[in-house]
Structure 1
Amino acid sequence: MYNESKVVISMIFESIYTPFGDHTIDVPPDKSISNRSILLNIIAQSGRAKIKNILLSEDTLATIAFAKRIGFDIKVDENKKTVSMKKGKLIKDIGTFDCKNSGTTVRHIMSIMCGLDIKGVLDGDSSLRKRPMQRITSFLKEMGADFKGGADFLPIEVRSSRLNRIDFTTDLASAQQKSSFILASLLAEGEKATFNFKVPSRDHTEIMLKEMGINLIYDQKDSYRQILIKDKRPSEMKDFTVPGDFSSAAFFIVLAILTPGMCLKIKDVNLNKSRTGLLDVLIQMGADIDIFQKKGSGEESGDIIIRHSSLKGVNINNKEIIPRMIDEFPVLALAMAFADSKSRVENVGELRVKESDRIEKIREILNFCGMELLAEKDRYEIDPARTKKPSEVVDTSGDHRIIMTAILAAIITKRKLKLDDISGINVSFPDFFKSLKEIGYEYKCSD
């Protein structure tokens, strides 16, 4: 369960056997939807809810811990992967709350605290303290929120607030900014609020709010898309069932493509189009991928079948597709490294302010593979022909997506890998090593 301390675990990873043939795997429940299923029920006026197939990782446990801290009655069944939650008496001063490594948690609960007039200090680990919060505090201040100091980075003290609805315009393609604004607006006073943006981002919040009876109005204003918010917060809490996480599936999609003789079926994955840009790019690169979508209400989901494929390089500079795969660029870099021609990626400055500077971490992974990365501020180039002496160590900075990508690199290159810290895997994919074994990959780990 939720643990206030972090244990650093270093490891030497060595691949022993790579499987081939047909295999099937389930991936963990979707982290974004798991978090939002708790957050959206927090703002509902009354009732109780059960979240089925929820991801119980460090990020989601931080969100669950916040719900408990403000007075919710929460019961977690780890075996059944369910969370039952019931409203209790709202606690208006929560002291200092540790959001761990979860940007989703802190950026959403900041809006909730301001909207429900809850006082407290929000903090996180060393990685989260480096991530920009001004993208959230800027509109909250305009709405009437009171923070101590600049409120650009954690820790941030949230003081008493009464929010008013505003018109807000952004050029940032951030689902967290968008959904945090929507949450704050649902809890604010006034006739309407508008969120004006140029580039679409993940829309889980909008889909789930629709299931809760909230009507968001979509429009176009000059060169900006617009979300108009007139409704108040949901009247009743709602049950949700969480599909498989596409971002977790991404590691096994790329691994299957790069493993000779492999055919892998990944079951019940979230296929929301705002998340699946990686599939579009891999198919463009020549990957042999079949998608079997299941019909249903709410989030789209289905099965994916991936076969070993030869890849060609690709150029990515379309600002529309980048938010649809913002978490998959590290593992995509691995696919690019083993393509038959060079690839270029542009307009990805956001990678610099994720859990780590992911462009620099991609450089370290490619160095381990014996390749160089040419990188500038918001772009990079991967040329499989640009080789160098391989390194033995990847400094992951505890970034969960970098850790797992580095392990895939060790499997593909069949080289021994030294990792400074693997504990970050628990942020999103606690059973990552178990899943490798389930489809036949054998390896050994040592200190």
Structure 2
Amino acid sequence: MTKIHVDPSHLTASVLTPPLSKSDAQRALVLAHLTGAWPLPLLDEEPEHFLAADVRVLRRGIEALRLPPGPVRDVDCADGGAPFRILVTQSAVTPGAHVRLTGTPRLGERPHGPLFESLREALGPSGLSLTEGHPWPVEIRAPSASGEPVFRVPGAQSSQYASSLLLGCAALYLRERRPWRVEIIGPLTSAGYLDLTVSWLRRFGFTVRESEGRLEVTDYRAPDRTPALPGDWSSLGYLLLIAWRTGGSVERADLASAHPDQALVRLVERAGLSTSPGPDGTLRMTGTARDGLVASGKECPDLLPTLAALACVLPRPSTLTDVGILRLKESDRLEGIRTLVDAFGGSALLEGETLTIQPPTSHPPHFSMDSRGDHRQAMVAATLSVLSGVPLTLTGPECVEKSFPGFWQQLERTGVRLTT
């Protein structure tokens, strides 16, 4: 497997650019498809090599759904959990669609059952056929009609189920002109991502009524213009910390974004850091680290590995709560965090759902990490290298293509030397 050596010994200030937001782009792609705003101008103008792999996967899947009814449509979802779950529902609500979805072994291991069962319960009586391989392919034949206008789904494992179904409600509302709703059973994990879905529905002209555990699409009025896409806050997490270390700044940082990972701006304040917009439209992070962090996986699970990297260079311990959800990502990110902290010479104590990170008393001369094919683990390790000034040997750097294809080029802008 490929290895890359990261040398952060010659850092310089620079303006860093994240890709367009993966989470925002995925929601906007579906809604542009449903409302006739296809293709999305800004996304279409972005260089293909700078688009996150998950965005490219979802765009290909939607393009397949836009074809006239006919032979089975094969869609490879690669390792994209959100694209796969979105496409499952969109396939099920596209009249006459016959879609065969495949993906990586790891994607097949991730939990999807609650989404499948919700679709079968709501659309099965009308003729939906949804069959699973072991684990691939997942084959869907969509019905031409529907019954009771409600999807019921548990909220504990992932908010992606509810988001996927709510986008399905938008499709069904446009087709049938009657309200459709999602009823969430039990507590909801990562509620911020569902809030992001609601925000995009409203920006595209849908009326969404919210009550306890229930969201209903009740109306649609076309907006005056297609909403713009912001920068990716998950990627901005790495770049803002790197810019703090180098004295640089970042572009495309929308402080009004509904993305859950924008919580970084608030969470780092406890450690003594703050962000401020510059006159050129960029965003800077400044301050001196004086304390540890406290963050929850219920609020921003994808941000926790990034915060763990920062925790390794803070003067006091940090606490991450509700960390069990990290085991269900592209890799077991909870173990990934513990491996990173251990490789850097710190300690990570897990007690139930709480992880306490104790930074090392002194930095090692060098550390090594294996990405395990997980894009976030790769970028988090590189971020820690820059934050600490400690050289890194990383196995499997190519996986950053999933969410941030230009990450290594952005790192080189800061003077980091990359060799293989």
TM-score tier, shorter chain, comes to: 0.7 to 0.9
Q: Map 1:208-227 onto structure 2 (within 5 A).
A: 208-219=200-211, 224-227=212-215
Task: Verify: 1:287 aligned to 2:265, yes or no.
Answer: no
8 Å CA contact retained: 1:368, 1:393? yes
Task: Verify: 1:278 aligned to 2:268, yes or no.
Answer: no
| 1:156 equivalent among 118, 131, 138 | 138
| 2:100 equivalent among 99, 121, 124 | 121
Whole-angstrom distance in 1 between the partners of 2:141 and 2:151: 23
Q: Which runs of 5+ in 1 are unaligned?
A: 1-8, 72-88, 295-301
CA, structure 1 residues 390+366, in 2 after alignment: closer, same or farther (shift >3 Å)? farther
Q: Map 1:331-346 onto structure 2 (within 5 A).
A: 331-346=306-321
Whole-angstrom distance in 1 between the partners of 2:371 and 2:302: 15
| 1:395 match | 370
Shift of 1:361: 0.6
| SS of structure 1 residue aligned to 2:372 | coil
Q: Which runs of 5+ in 2 are unaligned?
A: none
Whole-angstrom distance in 1 between the partners of 2:136 and 2:342: 32
Task: Verify: 1:96 aligned to 2:86, yes or no.
Answer: no
Shift of 1:265: 2.0
| SS of structure 2 residue aligned to 1:129 | helix
Q: Which has the higher strand share?
A: 1
Deviations 1:44-88 (A, max 9, x none): 3x46443304562211111121123234xxxxxxxxxxxxxxxxx
The residue identity in structure 1 corresponding to 2:275 is: I
Q: Map 1:312-331 onto structure 2 (within 5 A).
A: 312-317=291-296, 322-331=297-306
| SS of structure 2 residue aligned to 1:231 | strand
| Number of positions where the alignment pairs a residue of Structure 1 with one of Structure 2 | 399
Whole-angstrom distance in 1 between the partners of 2:78 and 2:390: 32
Whole-angstrom distance in 1 between the partners of 2:277 and 2:78: 35
TM-score if structure 1 supplies the norm length? 0.79
| 2:26 match | 35
Q: Map 1:226-241 onto structure 2 (within 5 A).
A: 226-231=214-219, 239-241=226-228
Task: Verify: 1:247 aligned to 2:238, yes or no.
Answer: no
8 Å CA contact retained: 2:349, 2:355? yes
Identity rate of aligned residues, in percent? 20
Q: Map 1:5-404 onto structure 2 (within 5 A).
A: 10-20=2-12, 22-44=13-35, 46=36, 48-53=38-43, 54=46, 56-71=51-66, 89-117=67-95, 118-145=97-124, 146-149=128-131, 154-161=136-143, 162-164=145-147, 165-166=149-150, 168=152, 170-172=154-156, 174-188=158-172, 191-196=179-184, 198-199=187-188, 200-202=191-193, 203-219=195-211, 224-231=212-219, 239-257=226-244, 259=245, 262-271=246-255, 272-275=257-260, 276-291=262-277, 303-307=282-286, 309-317=288-296, 322-376=297-351, 378-385=353-360, 392-404=367-379
Whole-angstrom distance in 2 between the partners of 1:293 and 1:273: 23
8 Å CA contact retained: 2:5, 2:419? yes
Q: Which has the higher helix share?
A: 2
CA, structure 1 residues 411+263, in 2 after alignment: closer, same or farther (shift >3 Å)? closer
Q: CA RMSD in A?
A: 3.1
Whole-angstrom distance in 1 between the partners of 2:139 and 2:224: 28
8 Å CA contact retained: 2:305, 2:380? yes
Deviations 1:154-176 (A, max 9, x none): 54222333444215364437442
Whole-angstrom distance in 2 between the partners of 1:148 and 1:192: 21
Whole-angstrom distance in 2 between the partners of 1:160 and 1:420: 42
The residue identity in structure 1 corresponding to 2:141 is: R
CA, structure 1 residues 92+212, in 2 after alignment: closer, same or farther (shift >3 Å)? farther
The residue identity in structure 2 corresponding to 1:195 is: E
TM-score if structure 2 supplies the norm length? 0.84
8 Å CA contact retained: 2:74, 2:100? yes
8 Å CA contact retained: 2:345, 2:359? no
Shift of 1:249: 0.8
Whole-angstrom distance in 2 between the partners of 1:391 and 1:437: 19
8 Å CA contact retained: 1:218, 1:228? yes
Whole-angstrom distance in 2 between the partners of 1:444 and 1:192: 51
8 Å CA contact retained: 1:24, 1:264? yes
8 Å CA contact retained: 2:238, 2:379? yes
Whole-angstrom distance in 2 between the partners of 1:158 and 1:167: 17
| 2:416 match | 442
Whole-angstrom distance in 2 between the partners of 1:323 and 1:293: 35
